[in-house]
Amino acid sequence: MAATNVPNPISAAHPLAGTTMSGAEMIVRVLADEGTTAIFGYSGGAILPTYDAVFLYNQERAARGEPQMPLIVPANEQGAGFMAAGYARASGKVGVCMVTSGPGATNTVTPVRDSMADSIPMIVICGQVPTSAIGTDAFQEAPVPALMGSVAKHIFLVTEPEKLEATVRTAFEIARTGRPGPVVIDVPKDVQNWTGTFRGEGVLPIPGYRKRLFATAHAAIEDDEAELFFAKLRGARRPLIYAGGGVVNGEAAADLSEFARSFGIPVVTTLMGIGAFDTTDPLAMRMLGMHGAAFANYAVEDCDFLFAVGARFDDRVAGVPQRFAPNAKHIAHVDIDLAEIDKVKRVDWSHVGELPGALRALTAYGRSSGFRPDLSAWHTHLDTLRRTHAMNYDRDSDLIQPYYVIEEINRLTKGEAIIATGVGQHQMWAAQYFDFRRPRLWLTSGSMGTMGFGLPAAIGAQFANPGALVIDIDGDASIRMNIGELETVTTYDLPVKVVVLNNFGDGMVKQWQKLFFKGRMSASDKSLHKKDFIKAAQADGFTYAVRLDRKADVPRVVEEFVRHPGPSFLEVIIDPDAGVYPMVGPGQSYDAMITGDHIVARHPPKSAEAPGPSQMF
């Protein structure tokens, strides 16, 4: 493939081309060239040369009155990884995490795997013991290539210093292109200390990858393919779009909206696809799946044409693939990754390519061919589903219901806030009850479901969007995982808002134990724990730290919390028995959906069946 097709923003006329630099300085210069505006990481012996180069770079920029590239120090390297991921998720740019060798590197394994599972572009630069010491069990040595190679999109171990500059630039290319993902660069200390000539351009030869990229980027939907798509769609009376995280990651939300509105086709989204379509739009049917809205899941049951866009039919959406969308006569699928086509659910029309171009091509063809479907009966049916099976809860309870708290926050933020979450019940309540007017406002650990994600991700998002309102919706169990990052919020005086919905335990686990394990709360009840979250927040410097335990105070306190100009912390003592409904049990289809006591079910309620030995959590 010709070099002209290689994505490379660096010009041959780089102002520093020909300058003698250390390897560490080259790393920092490439980071700057690639548009990095913040680095998240923790120092240590094996990465000190590069940390020093960051210091010198910022010192030089400050002397000239130019923007710097701050190095944000977390409480733990896992926090640094999730901050970089939050930065990437909220901005669409590549997040950068920089850590030392050994435990510094191993502490980032979970964020790397989390980012790989959710297709998040991130660079992790790890210090490593000197090249001559690799394999000798040297102090703070870890086999980073072996560890990370199985969880990252790609891993580089740099043993030839002359290739360092090109390696870092290539890592960015791999992280951001195609299906995005995390790339790890393991850099021995002697490579960082090496001095050589900075070229200011150049990438490594990865012809196979670039050939696939080129093919994907130029995979246009031809007229005959579009005609086949619309031939199937023309026969549909109840078409539905099923949008996944690929729409957000592929920057295709505007094109999806244009397609949906052009032909009046309603949209359901996955957990990772939230924000891909404005939740307040009349065509929005919100989230489908295990904890999706009942009306969304019923829409999937009733549709006769399903168009999957950047979605992968995962087990939280299609728990029983052969019974998913049972009335769909045709299923179409567009994705950037060939591996996702027919992986779980067979489809009868597909296209592998970049989503924006594919959606634009289909929209243009539909308009030019005069496709104007009359879907008024379908829209009326969906309106009835929304009203009849609306999200609801016990609004008369004297206890604070978590849904009520989220509704009050949403009333103030109007779908414009960046919402990060931990993992558990609070995550699903946030997905169900918040509005999202556009993409990159919803940050959550989807495929991995990593507790402790929310707080550091919110920090990263705030650095990516300094003027935005960023709120972490967390649980008492999830926030414990990375609670040390409360201090990071106040250290950098970030206006991050932290909500802890405290039900004194692992709420989602307890819900499953009630349903499937006869109420045996094995290791999930934390009502005896002594944690005082308010004192912890105050100790870490939060000037606004309030416990909310009276329902009558919810509107006033929530508004105080949201309006507070600096970091604010709110602990809400919620109904410990509040559940996440609807719920589709593992290995079950939507006709077995449990809707709880306050959401109307279409099918007669069934008793919850215990998951089989091979079924997922």
3-state secondary structure of 376: helix
DSSP secondary structure letter of residue 401: P
Could you tell me if 590 and 300 are in contact, meaning their C-beta atoms sit under 8 angstroms apart? yes
What is the set of active-site residues? Answer: 77, 139-140, 189, 508
What residue type is assigned to position 191 of the chain?
Answer: V
User: d(Cα 441, Cα 41) in Å, to the nearest integer?
Assistant: 24
The strand pair at 267-269 and 239-243 is best described as parallel
Tokens of 132: 């001559």
3-state helix, strand, coil in the chain (%, to 5): 40, 15, 45
Could you tell me if 335 and 341 are in contact, meaning their C-beta atoms sit under 8 angstroms apart? yes
User: d(Cα 311, Cα 88) in Å, to the nearest integer?
Assistant: 20
> Residue holding tokens 């094996």?
46
Could you tell me if 187 and 125 are in contact, meaning their C-beta atoms sit under 8 angstroms apart? yes
DSSP-assigned beta bridge partners for residue 351: 334
CB-based contacts of 438: which residues, under 8 Å, 6+ apart? 253, 275, 278
3-state secondary structure of 517: coil
3-state secondary structure of 330: strand
Largest CA distance in the chain: 74
User: d(Cα 427, Cα 500) in Å, to the nearest integer?
Assistant: 11
CB-based contacts of 383: which residues, under 8 Å, 6+ apart? none
First to last CA, the chain: 45
CB-based contacts of 319: which residues, under 8 Å, 6+ apart? 290, 584, 585, 586, 587, 588, 589
Tokens of 442: 């919803």
The strand pair at 20-22 and 195-197 is best described as antiparallel
